[in-house]
Chains A and B, each alone.
Chain A
Amino acid sequence: MSLITVTDLHVAYGANTVLRNVALHIEPGEIVTIVGPNGSGKTSLLRAIIGATGVTKGDIALKPGLKIGYVPQRLHIDPTLPITVARFMRLTNKVSKSVCSAALEAAGVPDLLNRQMSQLSGGQFQRVMLARALINEPDVLLLDEATQGLDQRGSAAFYHQIEQVRRETGCAVLMISHELHVVMSASDRVICLNGHVCCEGTPAVVASAPEYRALFGTGTGGALALYRHDHDHNHDHDHGHTHEAAE
């Protein structure tokens, strides 16, 4: 059976319905990315899956015994709360310090064990979060815009890490991302959400779907297409001007 099966999901906050008729499934080992404009219900969908938001109608079935690793959108640690990386890693996982160290090393941030969480850089912080989420070998990893606040290089490295994790552990990944160029290269499947599932499929299928193009543009026009780097069209156009490099 699928790891996660969402059927006919409706989520409403009061009179405001944020998700309707959402159906999706996550299979073992696949990387699925949810894209969608602000307010399209992406975060609500993840919150519903982990049980943080009530379901108005429909059903979310998790495979019995499913282990979820979760990396939240932004984790603000109040400055009044002192916590070392080691303590944070073992918050809900009863694992030894050596396991923590190994997990940090695998995440590319060794030697952080005794540092305060508040002293970490944005990139280190997200990698520690990822290491923590992976420490009890989850079946599926949920990431809610986990690279927010990282620069392009940092987020590219972060997604590279995710791909590597999937390769090595076979863990499925369901993530929300704003970075469409990353999404298109790193995902097996893309779900385009806007209150409902607009379209879904392989990155190539979604990129050419009219619903997707209506939301994000095609990369050559439209203000929303900031991150778009299509590979199915040609930038070398042949009209009569030359492009001058900025000097």
Chain B
Amino acid sequence: MLDDFMTRAMLAGVGVALAAAPLGCFVVWRRMAYFGDATAHAAILGIALALAFEMSIFIGAMAVALIMALTVTFLSGRGYAMDTLLGVLAHSALAFGLVAVSFLSGIRIDLMAYLFGDILAVSRTDLVVIWGGAALVVALILWRWSALLTSTLNEELAYASGLNPKREQLVLTIALAITVAVAIKVVGVLLIAAMLIIPAAAARGLARTPEAMAGIAAVIGAISAIAGLQGAYIFDTPAGPSIVCVAAILFTVLNLMGWRSRTGV
């Protein structure tokens, strides 16, 4: 079954969607969308470094994404507004990454594959990495769910309950770095944030509890991955962007339905 590239691609897409859904909910709730973007953009620098030192791309991307996320966390609240800080760091990391890649003349690199993903080229090893990473992210979030949710609602409430919101922030940061690293192959660094945010945002109108929102986001993400790949196959369009397009269409349809049911039009 895994011999078929299409099957492997779908499994990869669904794997990323499952990890991105609960994490994406926190990104949305905590208004961390640009944080996700910055972390993902930094990954291109990690890829360049990994290629230069002949390391695993997954490790390189994850390490730089993690360093980026920790730097942002550390610098926030030290003089600059968060969006300014992210704007400086994210685009600098992306620019340095692109410049670094250009130095790697010995290796022919298909930059597009990293910017927009190359899901149809997912190997069995990639699948193991993607599902391993996704499982780790989901396990991490399930384990810390209550604590993460409490910290997200109110920092003082978390402290008073004996939790440490800073530690929970770190958990999210690590989960984000892992997700970025595993999602590069699927949607590429430029569209990872879309996989985090769009399914979660689309699920909002259908959910009454945080858990339901994460579950519905996972379903929407998985449908987007499968339908996007089918669409890419039929219309011969790039796979990663096609997945994001389906997610965006689902977001729009669900929101219009919600708007209609609220206003009774």
A-to-B contact residues, CB < 8 Å: 46-47, 50-52, 68-70, 72, 75, 77-78, 80-84, 87-88, 91-92, 116, 142, 144
Contacts and interface: CB of A to CB of B under 8 A. Distances in A.
Contacts of A92: 146, 150, 157, 161, 163
B157 A82 contact: no
Contacts of B213: 81-82
B156 A50 contact: yes
Interface in B86-134: none
A46 B201 CA distance: 35
Give me the 4 closest cross-chain CB pairs, A-B, nearest first.
A70-B160, A52-B159, A92-B161, A50-B160
Nearest to A138: B160
A84 B155 CA distance: 19
6 contacts: A46-B156, A68-B160, A70-B160, A78-B29, A82-B208, A92-B146
B66 to A, nearest CB: 25
B146 A87 contact: no
Interface string B4-47: 00000000000000000000000011110000000000000000
Interface string B141-177: 0000010011011111101110100000000000000
Contact of A80 (B29, B156, B157): B29
A81 B157 CA distance: 16
B212 A82 contact: yes
B185 interface: no
Contacts, number: 64
A91 B150 contact: yes
A77 B28 CA distance: 12
Contact of A51 (B30, B31, B149, B159): B159
Contacts of A50: 156, 159-160
B209 interface: yes
Nearest to B213: A82
Interface of B: 28-31, 146, 149-150, 152-157, 159-161, 163, 200-201, 204, 207-213
A46 B160 CA distance: 10
B262 to A, nearest CB: 13
Contacts of A83: 153, 209-210
B146 A116 contact: no
A75 B158 CA distance: 12
Contact of B157 (A70, A78, A87, A116): A70
B131 to A, nearest CB: 28
A24 to B, nearest CB: 18
Given A52-B155, A70-B161, A88-B153, 9 more contacts: A51-B159, A78-B31, A80-B29, A81-B152, A82-B204, A82-B212, A84-B209, A91-B149, A92-B157
Q: Which of A46, A68, A92, A144 has the most CB of B within 10 A?
A: A92
